[in-house]
């Protein structure tokens, strides 16, 4: 929250300046503001973890290659969704 205030002031004041103590306290008391900043921190942590899990290889592809990659990915996704649907049907059928 301190960094958000510092960004607002254009990084002209230290984030630990006592000027911010009251503002931070008020922000912490407001549940919506607290939740907003909490979610931002959680998202940042998640993306930090995910960033290490995926390669960042930049690759130039032409339109045909892109179409092939796209279709391969989404056909695999559709197959996975179909398998999941079949498993759910089995579970519901067994429960009857």
- Identify the pLDDT of residue 64: 92
Same domain, yes or no: 47 and 80: no
To the question of pTM greater than 0.85 for the whole model, the response is no
Residue-level pLDDT at 63: 92
| Distance, CA of 89 to CA of 28 (rounded, Å) | 46
Q: Which domain holds residue 65?
A: 59-96
DSSP, residue by residue, 31-80:
HHHHHHHHHHHHHHHHHHHHHHHS--------HHHHHHHHHHHHHHHHHH
Token pair in block for residue 38: 């909490």
Give the model's pLDDT for residue 62. 92
For residues 5 and 43, membership in a common domain is answered with: yes
Same domain, 23 and 51: yes
pLDDT digits (tens, 9 = 90+) for 17-53: 677 777 777 877 888 888 888 888 888 888 888 887 7
Asked if residue 1 has pLDDT above 80, the reply is: no
Instruction: Return the structure tokens found at 77.
Output: 């996704």
- What distance lies between CA 17 and its chain's CA centroid? 31
When divided into structural domains, the chain yields a total of 2
């Amino acid at each position: 929250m301190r960094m958000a205030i510092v960004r607002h002031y254009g990084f002209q004041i230290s984030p630990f300046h006592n000027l911010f103590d009251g503002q931070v306290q008020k922000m912490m008391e407001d549940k919506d503001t607290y939740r907003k900043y909490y979610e931002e921190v959680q998202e940042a942590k998640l993306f930090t973890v995910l960033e290490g899990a995926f390669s960042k290889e930049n690759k130039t592809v032409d339109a045909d290659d892109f179409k092939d990659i796209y279709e391969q990915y989404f056909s695999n996704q559709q197959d996975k969704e179909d398998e999941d649907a079949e498993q759910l049907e089995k579970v519901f059928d067994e429960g009857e």
